[in-house]
Chain A
Amino acid sequence: MSLFILFTTFVFLVLCTVPVAISLAIATLITILSAGNLSVEFLVSSMINSLDSFPIMAVPFFILAGEIMGRGGISQRLVNFSHSLVKNITGGFAIASILTCMLFAAISGSGPATVAAVGGIMIPAMIKYGYDKYFATAVVTAAGAIGVMIPPSIPMVMYGVAASTSIGDLFIAGIFPGILVTLCLIIWSYIYAKHKGYKGSDEPFSFSQVFKEFKNAQLALFIPVIILGGIYGGIFTPTEASVVAVVYGLIISLFVYKEITVKDLPAIFTKSILTSVIVLIIVASATAFGKYLSIEQIPTQVANAMLAFSESKIVFITLMVALLLLVGCFMETIAAIIILTPLLVPVSTVFGFHPVHTGVIMVVSLAIGFITPPLGLNLFVGASVAGISVDKLSKAIIPFFISMIVALFLIIYLPFLSLSMI
């Protein structure tokens, strides 16, 4: 009953154009009050405590870094350089965006942060070179999900602890599946680009132009070097890397390229604050909502009911993926992993799945949840970075969703993709 109240209230409010974050919070509030077993303070303290987390800070900082690079001329140089490289390839910019997300995944353990950082640069670039803006946004929104598949990845750390499996193995196991998802997204982008005729420029590829743009973009291209070097050299954590990007971006933009002055900074900060806040306030109410689901033990009940049906390996894995995709629609990844891992892993082991393989399947399935409405953080970041509506983006992302499901099934049926290197 409480579940019914929760979802009908949520859907009703969202349709009334009440903001998503507030709809979630009100739905949770009304359910709490009607069930009478919790107080309003629960909602408030859950919302505040969900923001009291250091890793979450990567989201606003990467959004800020993206904004600084955009206005400060860094992005333009990066875009010019990649244009000189991919201009003759069908869908070149989309492919470059997806590959950038994959590289960025080695820095960030967060889907939304990946969308923010890469989207801030690549979405405007794709639109500029004639791509449909919904497709352009969908490309980065979907590819951002790769952020948690390739190490470092906080969801994998959480899974390793919950399942008593090697985190090091999980990190390695995520690499090929991450690349596979990347490939599937590239294939769809290529097909779409071919269909739409995004065949790129007619001017011939020229090494001298590449070299010229490379020289122009030198300092900008140094950003990934600094960030990757800093993380893998043990100077800062992936979360702290976001601040390094901000500071480096500021220095280059203000003092080297001189395309912005201190006077431009308030506007840059305001824009970044707005983009960050509207996503983080959704994170806050989604966490409260997720905690309420945990208290009512709803994910546990659904998982147990589902496990009772699982007679064969195929039925089990199909139900497991369905459950994870469903949970990914409504719950935050880490919370889902913490609650579901102890339930799913023992059963999956009985059906012959290696715990590392199960972990990869779980993380990829939940990562797909980043792009599924109603609660898809990547969708919200993507929509607000590009300034388009969430429902239009949700439609544009369907083919990418299908590509990722195809990748997921390959990952499930080809265990060696995950297990060959461990």
Chain B
Amino acid sequence: MLDWINKHLENVIAIVLFVVMTIAVFTQILTRTFDYSLSWTEELARYCLIWLVFIGTSLAVIHQQHINIDVISKRLNESEKKVLAVIAQAIFFAFSLVILFYSTQMVMDLYRLEQHSPALGLPMWIVYLACPVGFALTAFRLLQQIVITVETTKTEMDK
């Protein structure tokens, strides 16, 4: 169970969000064609996109897909590369913690201030929650990777 969550959590959430986005926008086109408009389809799609991007940030860490520039790293040997990768992951990790801290405070502020979205009437803190949740997951995934890299290097060195 835990293993399944570990493997699929971000992926499942992200797919659900993307499917909801698709359905929302398609519904919007259909209903407008039949002279009836829903006020909330576009908003729902936009808020799903915000969640998708922040959850996806963590997913992209798992799949090591984030775009980076390897001008320097491709000139390094294997072990130097690993050190640089861990440094980069650590920087990313530290940044995630900073954003996690401040965005959590923001969500709490917004919770108190009771702003609602125009169409769905959704409390806005729910939209902003995407940021701390996304970066909490990102931080966790980075930590996993740092640990794995360090341990494999250790075992390699033991050999």
- In chain B, positions 84-115 with a C-beta closer than 8 Å to chain A are 84-85, 87-88, 91-92, 95, 98-99, 102-103, 105-106
CB contacts (< 8 Å) of A29 on chain B: these are: 95, 98
A interface majority secondary structure: helix
Residue A269 interfacial (CB < 8 Å):
yes
Q: Contact check, B87 vs A277: say whether CB atoms are below 8 A apart.
A: no
Q: Contact check, A20 vs B25: say whether CB atoms are below 8 A apart.
A: no
Q: Contact check, A51 vs B53: say whether CB atoms are below 8 A apart.
A: yes
Q: Contact check, B56 vs A273: say whether CB atoms are below 8 A apart.
A: yes
The distance in angstroms between the C-alpha atoms of A391 and B77, with both chains bound, is 19
The distance in angstroms between the C-alpha atoms of A64 and B17, with both chains bound, is 13
Residue A287 interfacial (CB < 8 Å):
no
CB contacts (< 8 Å) of B52 on chain A: these are: 60, 273, 276-277
Closest CB of chain A to B128's CB: distance in Å? 6
The distance in angstroms between the C-alpha atoms of A236 and B33, with both chains bound, is 8
Residue A36 interfacial (CB < 8 Å):
no
Q: Contact check, A57 vs B95: say whether CB atoms are below 8 A apart.
A: no
Q: Which residue of A lies closest to B45 (CB)?
A: A57
Closest CB of chain A to B152's CB: distance in Å? 18
Interface centre among A19, A52, A57 (most CB of B within 10 A): A19
Q: Which residue of A lies closest to B135 (CB)?
A: A44
Residue A163 interfacial (CB < 8 Å):
no
0/1 string, A144-176, CB within 8 A of B gives 1: 000000000000000000000000000000000
Q: Contact check, B18 vs A278: say whether CB atoms are below 8 A apart.
A: no
CB contacts (< 8 Å) of B67 on chain A: these are: 19-21, 278-279, 282, 380, 383-384, 390
Tell which of B11, B65, B71, B131 touches A391, judged by Cβ atoms closer than 8 Å.
B71
Q: Contact check, B128 vs A54: say whether CB atoms are below 8 A apart.
A: no
Residue A272 interfacial (CB < 8 Å):
yes
Q: Check A391/B70 contact, CB under 8 A, given A13-B91, A18-B91, A26-B91.
A: yes
Q: Which residue of A lies closest to B63 (CB)?
A: A274
Residue B29 interfacial (CB < 8 Å):
yes
Q: Contact check, A47 vs B131: say whether CB atoms are below 8 A apart.
A: yes
CB contacts (< 8 Å) of B63 on chain A: these are: 274
Q: Contact check, A240 vs B70: say whether CB atoms are below 8 A apart.
A: no
- Tally of B interface residues using CB under 8 Å: 52
The distance in angstroms between the C-alpha atoms of A246 and B72, with both chains bound, is 39
Residue A61 interfacial (CB < 8 Å):
yes
Closest CB of chain B to A36's CB: distance in Å? 15
Q: Contact check, B69 vs A391: say whether CB atoms are below 8 A apart.
A: yes
Q: Check A16/B50 contact, CB under 8 A, given A22-B66, A273-B59.
A: no
Q: Contact check, A18 vs B15: say whether CB atoms are below 8 A apart.
A: no
CB contacts (< 8 Å) of B91 on chain A: these are: 13, 16, 18, 22, 26
Interface centre among B18, B19, B28, B106 (most CB of A within 10 A): B18
Q: Contact check, B70 vs A389: say whether CB atoms are below 8 A apart.
A: yes
Q: Contact check, A48 vs B102: say whether CB atoms are below 8 A apart.
A: no
Residue A284 interfacial (CB < 8 Å):
yes
Interface centre among A25, A48, A277, A284 (most CB of B within 10 A): A277
Tell which of B29, B46, B131 touches A244, judged by Cβ atoms closer than 8 Å.
B29
Q: Contact check, B28 vs A278: say whether CB atoms are below 8 A apart.
A: no
Q: B residues bordering A, Cβ < 8 Å? A: 11, 14-15, 18-19, 21-22, 25-26, 28-29, 32-33, 42, 45-47, 49-50, 52-53, 56-57, 59-60, 63, 65-73, 84-85, 87-88, 91-92, 95, 98-99, 102-103, 105-106, 127-128, 130-131
Q: Would you list 12 pairs from A and B whose C-beta atoms are within 8 A, ordered by A residue?
A: A13-B91, A15-B69, A39-B102, A44-B99, A44-B103, A51-B50, A52-B46, A54-B42, A277-B53, A279-B67, A280-B56, A390-B68
Of all A-B residue pairs in the complex, the 5 with the closest CB atoms, nearest first, are: A277-B56, A19-B66, A40-B102, A243-B25, A17-B88
